[in-house]
A and B are shown apart, each in its own frame.
Chain A
Amino acid sequence: MTRFPSYRDPILFGKMQSNTLNFVFGLTIGLVFAYVGISYMTGPPTPWPTQMRYVATEDQETKLRSPLRSFLTHEDLEKIRAIVQPIEFMDAHVHNDDDKEARRLEKEIRVLCWVMTSPENLESKAKHVRSTWARRCNKLLFISSVTNKTFPAIGIDVPEGRDHLTAKTMKAFKYIYEHHMDDADWFMKADDDTYVILENLRYFLSSQNTNEPIYFGHHFKTIVKQGYFSGGAGYVLSKESMRRFGAHGSNETVCRQDGGAEDAEFGKCMENLGVKVGNSTDKLGRSRFHCFDPDTHLMGGYPDWYYQYDAHGAKKGRESISDYAISFHYVPVDKMYAMEFYIYHLRPYGIESGKQELNQGRSS
């Protein structure tokens, strides 16, 4: 007869009891561990600003624990690129738009846009840049590490990667100085996730003098004495700035040739060449170049570092963005088509967008 443990059998019962006890004990500890562990991984529900710890410039983003961010980063854009197909807008013939003024400015203020891209981004990002905003540039160049005749993209002999963005920028401007100085009056650098409204860029530049040593963009007040401009938001150089860069830009003592954060290094370079940071805010004090996507600026979901960097008080909301905004950054490709739609197509019937006088006097 098998012996079942019973209270009359002290040894076996004792053993079973201690086994159960151990199991229960383990269960309890396990529950506690699991609860703590999972709570830690999902992040405590503290208000989001305290959880954002972005370090240094955009070039050295370091993401920390929490997924509770409300702005987009390059990694996010990688995830979003999957199912985008180009959208053709083919209804210009019914628009009845009066674009005389825009066309006049297009002839008078020639802008050369160079878009920093890479071989693997040609089809996934640069192509959409080309079919949306960039076709409004007077001259458009895609600068990559490898020449691609069909796209076309110009190959600068620089390895890909964040460590060489400075070299890419230096060499790109050098190339433009050597080959395209006469093609334009202003020279703009943008990324392949920047969205630029060319009409508004020309409107702003119409109040500026391209023979001054000056350049414009989204102003950061740190690192460089006069501040510098965010690379992703795009920055635009006057002809005089290009001349000075062409003359002395290859001198290592004046401009660092590689390494560091591209926009900060270029900013130091400009300062050394005597090129001034220009003010591009409009008459109501609102920004025109933007280093984040529109929703982030509207909502104010900024990372902590932005409050130390932005030279105009890190404002947010609709009042902080000019009606004639020029650029946004971290724009995923599907959003580029959406912006084309919002800016050039979707409109409220019966409201004529008047010509607003938003430029300030001469800026410096």
Chain B
Amino acid sequence: MTRTKTRFMFGLIFAYVAISYMTGHLTPRPTLMRSLKNGNQETQLSSEWRSFLTHLETIRALLRFDEFTDAHLKNEDDEARRLESEVRVLCWIMTSPKNLDSRATAVRRTWARRCNKLLFISSVTNETFPTIGIELPEGRDHLTGKTIKAFKYIYEHHIDDADWFMKADDDTYVILENLRYFLSGQNSNEPIFFGHHFKTIVKQGYFSGGAGYVLSKEALRRFGAKGNDETICRQDGGAEDAEFGKCMETLGVKVGNSTDKLGRNRFHCFDPDTHLMGGYPDWYYQYDANGAKKGRDSISDYTISFHYVTPEKMNALEFYIYHLRPYGLKSGKQELNQDWGS
């Protein structure tokens, strides 16, 4: 009798252990981790407190948020409006059908409405949202193809709609006023583009895809003329931002310097808290072209972009940047642009 009981217990324990492994409950690593892909590396951040905060944000992402009514009393935005008509920016957001309701909607409701022209590019056309469908399967293996086709589409249909052409992800947050301020000191007829500079892989370096990068009109013209040539620009596969960087270099488009007068970055490939606290993954120290600074030294007051921003964080950033303010402190105009362009 005891022998059968033993086997019974054995079966019980075996089953429990099997299920635990399958659902991941016995694994020592936190089950929610941030996965970063850059170049051909995939590095996982498994710091415990970061995974905890990711967990929190995941939960929060389930909650919906309200529209902004922007009820301001007495704002003076003449300067911002002037720049809006002088420095026209076309934003195209790389998204996918499954992200429309959550991320793309958040982007559209928050920062992207400040673009002069806004396009959402997905693998499937959606008339209501609306999104433009590029005929490519979803997934990391086709991000390069998506980017190449997207810029081609914009070259063919929208080159006259703007002076500068920015690519962003659906988890990028961009402060358009600061982008225009920076670009107001640049020349769109130069073959140049700007973003968060990585010094590896491409000789002149390239820009992080997630932080967003912005092309001059001349850069887009050159791409439109020769970008479909497989010998010049890889048409698909590889890491989107690195491949696009090689493509730009081959076309003679230069990487521009977008640091401010105090040497601080304006495009950022991580979210604000990471840059402030310096919780960088190891690879970042080899990639960042500006010394992988952290804290105050790494972020300009006129910062342009952040990456890995969840929808609810976008909502919060709208609140912090455009609403919450200290009474009696009129933020002055800082002269933060450098004098030279690249």
Contact = CB atoms under 8 A, between A and B. Distances in A.
B12 A26 contact: yes
B170 interface: no
Given A34-B19, A334-B276, A353-B75, A101 B327 contact: yes
Contacts of A346: 175, 272, 299, 301, 303, 320-321
Interface residues of A, number: 93
A105 interface: yes
B16 interface: yes
Contacts of B296: 87-91, 341
Closest 6 CB pairs of A and B: A26-B11, A30-B15, A96-B332, A350-B80, A102-B328, A350-B79
Interface string B300-316: 01110000000011011
A349 B80 contact: yes
B82 interface: yes
A353 to B, nearest CB: 5
A343 interface: yes
In the complex, which of the residues B10, B295, B331 has the most CB atoms of chain A within 10 Å of its own CB atom?
A: B331
A334 to B, nearest CB: 5
A105 B176 CA distance: 33
A84 B50 CA distance: 12
Given A19-B3, A48-B62, A26 B9 contact: yes
B73 A94 contact: no
A199 B303 CA distance: 24
A82 B48 CA distance: 10
B36 interface: no
Nearest to B334: A94
A31 B17 CA distance: 9
Contacts of A321: 319, 323-324
B157 interface: no
A19 B316 contact: no
Contact of B299 (A25, A79, A341, A350): A341
Interface of B: 3-4, 7-16, 18-20, 23, 25, 48-49, 52-53, 55-56, 59-60, 62-63, 65-66, 68-69, 71-83, 175-178, 180-181, 261-262, 272-273, 276-279, 295-296, 299, 301-303, 312-313, 315-336
A131 to B, nearest CB: 12
A350 to B, nearest CB: 3
Interface string A27-38: 111110111011
A30 B14 contact: yes
In the complex, which of the residues B62, B66, B72, B302 has the most CB atoms of chain A within 10 Å of its own CB atom?
A: B66
A343 B181 contact: no
Nearest to A39: B23
Given A38-B19, A338-B273, A22 B334 contact: no
Interface of A: 18-19, 22-31, 33-35, 37-38, 41-42, 48, 67-70, 72, 76, 79-80, 82-85, 87-91, 94-105, 197-200, 202-203, 284, 294-295, 298-301, 316-319, 321, 323-325, 334-335, 337-339, 341-358
Contacts of A37: 16
Contacts of A30: 11-16
A344 B301 CA distance: 9
A66 to B, nearest CB: 10
Given A317-B65, A350-B83, A29 B328 contact: no
B103 to A, nearest CB: 16
Contacts of B333: 96, 349-350
B326 A199 contact: yes
Given A89-B296, A342-B321, A356-B74, A19 B52 contact: no
7 contacts: A26-B11, A34-B20, A69-B56, A87-B295, A88-B295, A338-B273, A343-B320
Contact of B77 (A85, A104, A351): A351
Contacts of B336: 94
B111 to A, nearest CB: 10
Contact of B11 (A22, A35, A350): A22
B332 A98 contact: yes
